[in-house]
Chain A
Amino acid sequence: MKNSMQRRMLAVTALSAVAIIGLAGCGISPGPSADATSPTTDAPVTLNLGWWGSDPRAKATEAAVGAFEKKYPNITVETSYSDWAGYWDRLATQTAGGDAPDVSQMDMTYLSSYASRGILADLGPVKNILDTSTIPKTVLDSGRVDGKLYAAPIGAAANGVVINTSLLDKYGIEIPDTNTWTWDDFNKIALEVTEKSKGAAHGVTPYQNDPFGLQIYARQHGEELWDARGKVTVSPKLVKEYFQTELDWVASGAAPSASQVSDNGGATITERDIATGKTAIFFTAAGAFNGLQAAAPDYKYIIGNWPTDSHTKPGFQYLKPTMYWAISAATEHPSEAALLVNFLINDRRVAKLFGTERGAPASPSLQKVIEPTLTPEGVQALDFSKLMTKEAGPAPAITPNGASGVSAILSRYNDQVLFGQTSPASAAKGFIDELQASIDAAG
């Protein structure tokens, strides 16, 4: 029994719904639009800068931004930062909404995903403003996707083994020479920590979910995780051994219980077992060394090379960019954005402010500049990176498009193996299949 009033209400509702859909539909297209070669002017310009990191990094970055604004008074930089976990959801959503920062900190995990989809600006056209000549070629190449440079590496670091020397001293264990130690030495020391502390501490926190660690492990056996065309090239046998090593460590007591290990995977740096003195050995990128020492001032740490054995292939180490600066392809001020990035990676004041907080600077001349200002841990991290530069082999392919979930996928299979839900062999196959499927499905 509809009268005209009801019919009118229905019509209004339907029309509004259509209008809303039309408006909402318009909002889905972020399309890149900027012309990357427009010259800088003296007109006031506002740039947005986004990064992830902890408070010390925020303070240093704000100070660097202040110096930039003094040098270029017409440019104002609005900053925003978050922690690692929320950063990527936020960046994806901001990009979808057409709101991405002009300059964002970028990681290798997502570089290809963003660059292949046209979200990042090609840095070639602004190379007269953004000077990347001071960065070593192998490190700079890790910012290239399909030959074009999409992100400028800020710093580079090798993956090392961190040892809590205070713990080792406490239980009377000899500190190894990390330049010559073997996997046998490693296992012996890890077990000793557990035994001599009677379980109060354990030897090692296993690799878990860091693809960097898996890549080094693969390279020690002459393989690589993936190639430049997006094929997962690591063998199921190798991944199985990788998982099996973890299981062996847990079983022998060198590593803590499965749930303690699993818990570490998602923990912040201050909560990790290596920082709380629950384990003595940890695998991590050298860029995190500073943060670790700052989080655990009561302990002393050293960082050294991975152990080897007679089968280890040489040149397994490489310098991986810790993070990059990337310019949004949708930015309205590409030249000013390039100015900002150039300032951040080349200016000496900035280098001194950042120190090794974002990893050792990629440029050797800047490394020399900051050396006198570093804390002892900073000097250690820097020396380690320099040592590894001598040993490093060619850098592997960067994370392919579609593989940005590799850490989560590895973590999941790792957990399944740790808790005995799957065998290492089927977890290895599952990991490789799922990773490849994810790469293949990405568009």
Chain B
Amino acid sequence: MSALGELRSLTQRRDSTNRKGKRPRTADNKVAAVFLAPWLIGLLGITVGPMVVSLYLAFTNYNLLQNPTFTGLANIQRMLSDERLAKSLGVTFTYVLVSVPLQLIVALAVAVLLDRGLRGLPLYRSIFYLPSLLGASVAIAVLWRLVFGADGLLNAFLANFGIEGPAWVSNPSTALGTIILLHVWTFGSPMVIFLAGLRQIPREFYEATSVDGASKWRQFTSITLPLLTPIIFFNLVLGIIGSFQSFTQAFIISGGGGGPADSTLFFSLYLYQEGFANFRMGYASALAWLLLLIIGAFTALNFWASKYWVFYDD
């Protein structure tokens, strides 16, 4: 069954609950409504409400200090001729398309290594998981900037071998690389999910194929990978959605300016600058909706492509 089919079956009502017992459903519904209310109010007030207002603001000129003035499609026209927007889209796409697959490859590789039944597996699992807990934090980003700075830890280490490293975070050609590295370093959470997935593959497959003389690599590509594809798909979708919205790392490592010569001008950072630093909140709202459309498009693409490579064994 395809991913879309799975989704559809989950959302269809199951009519089997009313066969036995005469429990009135209205009482249940009232209780449910009471418990749902806090979350629903939060959803409407803090998420949906502002989203709708932001959609309105996207068609206005709003400098935060005075009331917004309606300007129709002016913001969209601005987007089409905005060079910095093009640059930031380039930087963001590069980041997403490089760091997400890279992170998943590392996560899978480490998961496979750990799955061999090492002694002290819980300890290793925790150690590898730790960076992903801290990775999106400001503290780690500050630390990263120091480690990869001109006088940072990395250059001090390289100096031991007589190599004079460049200023990694201050050079336009390497600054984005340090942020990609930071993302790959937080491979812990996809790794834990892969580990769980690996545990679910029946041992008999491996035993049967060993008997037939299959190499470890052949086993990996013909058994492990196909059976893991649902989990790879899940991690891929979530990874892409999350990394499009990356902000903290770019903000801290570039000092808020988008890096040397805009080389770390992530989309959300550009949006933030336009909205809060340049008094163009209307344009920033339009950019936010553009991001939503881009992420939506990538997710739809993922779901559509999934029927070609994701294997659900049911």
Contacts and interface: CB of A to CB of B under 8 A. Distances in A.
B63 A443 contact: yes
B178 to A, nearest CB: 13
Nearest to A264: B170
A309 to B, nearest CB: 31
Contacts of A405: 277-278
Interface in B144-177: 149-150, 166-167, 169-172
A427 B158 CA distance: 35
List of 3 A-B pairs having minimum Cβ-Cβ separation, nearest first: A20-B49, A266-B255, A263-B170
A294 B53 CA distance: 48
A43 interface: no
B262 A412 contact: yes
Contacts of B170: 259-260, 262-263
Interface in B263-289: 273, 276-279, 281
A24 B61 contact: no
A9 to B, nearest CB: 8
A24 B49 contact: yes
A187 interface: no
B131 interface: no
Q: Which of A96, A118, A259 lies at the interface centre, i.e. has the most chain B CB atoms within 10 A of its CB?
A: A259
Interface string A6-20: 000000010011001
Given A93-B276, A266-B257, A17 B167 contact: no
Contact of B279 (A21, A92, A412): A92
A16 B44 contact: yes
Contact of B256 (A85, A92, A93, A418): A85
Interface stretch (B64-72, B188-196, B300-308): B64-72
B276 to A, nearest CB: 4
Contacts, number: 116
B297 interface: no
B172 A92 contact: no
Given A263-B150, A408-B257, 14 more contacts: A20-B45, A24-B52, A25-B53, A29-B67, A30-B65, A88-B276, A92-B279, A93-B64, A96-B281, A118-B66, A259-B166, A260-B167, A419-B261, A442-B279
A76 interface: no
B43 to A, nearest CB: 9
Contacts of A28: 53, 62, 67-68
B54 to A, nearest CB: 10
Given A17-B49, A259-B150, A259-B170, A266 B256 contact: yes
A442 B282 CA distance: 13
B260 A443 contact: no
Nearest to B265: A412
A19 B49 CA distance: 9
7 contacts: A13-B40, A93-B64, A259-B150, A259-B166, A259-B167, A405-B278, A438-B278
Given A20-B44, A20-B49, A89 B276 contact: yes
Contact of B277 (A17, A24, A30, A408): A408
Given A25-B53, A421-B172, A96 B261 contact: no
A158 to B, nearest CB: 27
Contacts of B166: 259
A117 interface: yes
B23 to A, nearest CB: 15
Given A5-B29, A259-B167, A415-B260, A95 B172 contact: no
A361 B104 CA distance: 59
Given A28-B67, A263-B150, A442-B279, A21 B167 contact: no
